[in-house]
Structure 1
Amino acid sequence: MAPRIPSANKAVATGRPAELKRAEQPRAQETRSAILRAALSEFAEKGYDAASIRNIAERIGLQHPLITYHYRSKEVLWQAVAEYVFARIREEWDAHLADSGAISSEERLQLAYGTLFRFTVKFPEFDRFMRQEMLGYSPRLQWLADTVLKPLIDWLLPQISDAQARGALPKVEPILFHYLMISLTSALASFGPELSVTSKLSPSDPTVVDAYWRAVESLVFGRTKVSK
């Protein structure tokens, strides 16, 4: 059985009593999901400082107080967005790993990074959301590292070390290999507009997406084959 991707260290506090959260109806949950999707777009486009709860409300036609009812501050909402997105990534990782039959570390890594790549292609706003926070140090970046990124990296690094020890991956500091892969997984999302204007290729074209990732797999993972 493939090892399960760990979840984040702790859930985001929404400022609401536990009894109320347990009693939420599906409609309220749908509202919260809509808020998170709109907030992701707002934070991705404008960054944390320029984003506003009022603009997020306008994106989905809600009253401003309804958002603060669910998320008491912009910071809490930002944290909830980060948790929401990474929870979706973890779900996809777990599903792909469970269905693949991948047994070696390099096979698991190939699937994990491949899943992340396809997620960023499908949701380029995720890449923009992350890049907004990578421009410099902030308490949000520290929170992101401690709460969301560290559990994932702690799962990935031993897989990288094991594959390197058996000669299946280039020997470099595992964390450097990880960020090499992060840059490769985000390339189409990051450079999509530039790619479109410098070529006739669309970063969302399935043929382009498949060709790009096959090249990455060939360059990085060599002959590793994974059932998909």
Structure 2
Amino acid sequence: MTDIPTKTTRKRASRQKADLQPNLREAILLAAMQEFACAGFDAASILRIAAAAGVHHPHIYYYFKNKEQLWREAATRAFAPLRTQVETGRPLLAQVPPLDAFAVAIRQFAHFSADNRMAALIVARETLAPGTRLDWLAENILLPLHQILIDILGDAIDKGIIRPVPITSVIQAMIGAVVTYFGGGAALVRLHGVDPLSPLSIETHTEFLVDLFVNGLRTKQPPV
């Protein structure tokens, strides 16, 4: 006698099929990053995410219990390359002079931003309507990264290497100079005929910012 599939057996078979696709979760996260960045949380569609990931939408709830958890994990995934870079390079930063460490941090953030524009858009979406998601972003992702820069610049001020500048202003000016440039591709092409995401543009803008912030903040030595 042939067994008739029940709702339970169909669900079990669907989960087993999902388990056989190790890249399925990553595909969902990448699609979710794009959707949340472009549409924002409220307008983001689970159906569109599923279609972009090439899965049936019930598979999403196999990996993520609800839309909020999917958003949090997508935001975490968006910043993962930068956090990995920072953690890997932290021992080196502790051994070099503060301004050298700041130069490394600028280069890391610039190259990350050029390659991962969705991260900045996710933050921008939540900044437009501040709430619990922005609180979560700040506490779990942004503040730990900012604290590294705060410590580097504070150390440089204490040692008299740079002028006693407002650290928050320096950090936000650097972030704005990076994010605005690499996120404004269509406008820059129309205004200046420049593709900000070409390898040459990325390197040129990054090194300009290193020179601007590192040498611009340095304490001026009196002429001999």
Q: Note if 1:191 corresponds to 2:184.
A: yes
2:214 aligned partner, one-letter code: F
Q: Note if 1:61 corresponds to 2:48.
A: no
Q: What corresponds to 2:5 in structure 1? A: none
Match of 2:21 among 27, 30, 33: 27
Identity %: 27
Q: Distance in 2 between matches of 1:199 and 1:46?
A: 28
Per the normalisation by structure 2, the TM-score is 0.80
Q: What corresponds to 1:203 in structure 2? A: 196
Contact map agreement 2:117 2:182 (CA 8 A) in 1: yes
Cα RMSD of the aligned pairs, angstroms, is 2.4
Match of 1:42 among 35, 48, 63: 35
| Structure 1: 4+ residue segments shifted above 6 A | none
State the Cα distance separating 1:36 from its structure 2 match.
0.8
Q: Distance in 2 between matches of 1:101 and 1:183?
A: 25
> Which blocks of at least 5 consecutive residues in structure 2 are unaligned?
1-17, 218-224
SS at 1:186 equivalent: helix
Contact map agreement 1:54 1:64 (CA 8 A) in 2: yes
Per the normalisation by structure 1, the TM-score is 0.79
Match of 1:123 among 96, 116, 121: 116
State the Cα distance separating 1:106 from its structure 2 match.
1.9
Could you give the per-residue CA deviations for residues 97-142 of structure 1, whole angstroms, max 9, x where no partner exists?
5678961222222212211111111122222222111213111001
Q: Distance in 2 between matches of 1:31 and 1:169?
A: 48
Q: What corresponds to 1:213 in structure 2? A: 206
> Which blocks of at least 5 consecutive residues in structure 1 are unaligned?
1-23
How many matched pairs?
200
State the Cα distance separating 1:164 from its structure 2 match.
2.1
Q: Distance in 1 between matches of 2:47 and 2:151?
A: 43
State the Cα distance separating 1:191 from its structure 2 match.
1.8
Q: What corresponds to 1:72 in structure 2? A: 65
State the Cα distance separating 1:196 from its structure 2 match.
0.9
Q: What corresponds to 2:106 in structure 1? A: 113
Q: Distance in 2 between matches of 1:168 and 1:193?
A: 39
Contact map agreement 1:52 1:74 (CA 8 A) in 2: no
SS at 2:184 equivalent: helix
Sort the Cα spacing of 1:36 and 1:169 in 2 relative to 1 into closer, same or farther, 3 A: farther
Q: Distance in 1 between matches of 2:185 and 2:121?
A: 12
Q: Distance in 2 between matches of 1:137 and 1:120?
A: 22
Q: Note if 1:86 corresponds to 2:53.
A: no
Q: Distance in 1 between matches of 2:182 and 2:50?
A: 26
Q: Distance in 2 between matches of 1:208 and 1:181?
A: 17
2:199 aligned partner, one-letter code: P
Contact map agreement 2:75 2:119 (CA 8 A) in 1: no
Sort the Cα spacing of 1:62 and 1:157 in 2 relative to 1 into closer, same or farther, 3 A: same
Q: Note if 1:143 corresponds to 2:141.
A: no
1:44 aligned partner, one-letter code: A
2:42 aligned partner, one-letter code: D
Contact map agreement 1:169 1:220 (CA 8 A) in 2: no
2:21 aligned partner, one-letter code: R
Q: What corresponds to 2:96 in structure 1? A: 103
Contact map agreement 1:39 1:81 (CA 8 A) in 2: yes
Contact map agreement 2:157 2:164 (CA 8 A) in 1: yes
Contact map agreement 2:106 2:210 (CA 8 A) in 1: no
Sort the Cα spacing of 1:121 and 1:197 in 2 relative to 1 into closer, same or farther, 3 A: same
Q: Distance in 1 between matches of 2:168 and 2:94?
A: 26
